Amino acid sequence: MRGGANAELPQFASLLQAARAGQLDHWLGTLRGRLSLIIVLDQFPRGLFAGTPEAFSSDPDALRIAEEGFRNGHYVALTSLWERFFYCLPLAHAEGPDHLERMRRIVAISEQVVDQVPEHLKPIWQFSLNQAKEGRL
């Protein structure tokens, strides 16, 4: 584990365990609750278990929850571009036979909103878009 935000994650390890056990599924009822659960399942393991297979072990659950949110309208109801950015990460992170199709979806979504990104943040957004185009995100 590296410094920065990752240094804060150990105190949330029990939250990740609860999410993995389905004990936080009640969060799915609201759009930001769903987003929070996506972040816990997609991002926290990457920081807590970097360099190990466990870093990716919650990817299928994060993907399932994100896909449900695309279908039920939670994604489009989010007003922040950054919320939408984190919502899309499981589409890129989870491996599987439909990975390239999901990457195409991310590119399409990102290209639709890149002009809405504040100028000072465009380099970050553009970098992520380029990563998705190359299939490496």
State percent of the chain over pLDDT 70. Answer: 96
Q: For the chain, what's the residue count?
A: 137
* Residue 3's pLDDT band (cuts 50, 70, 90): low
State percent of the chain over pLDDT 90. Answer: 61
Residue 126 to residues 94, 107, 116, 118: CA-CA distances in angstroms? 21, 10, 12, 12
DSSP secondary structure letter of residue 5: G
Average pLDDT over residues 22-51: 97
Reported as a single tens digit per residue, the pLDDT across 68-94 is: 999 999 999 999 988 998 999 999 999
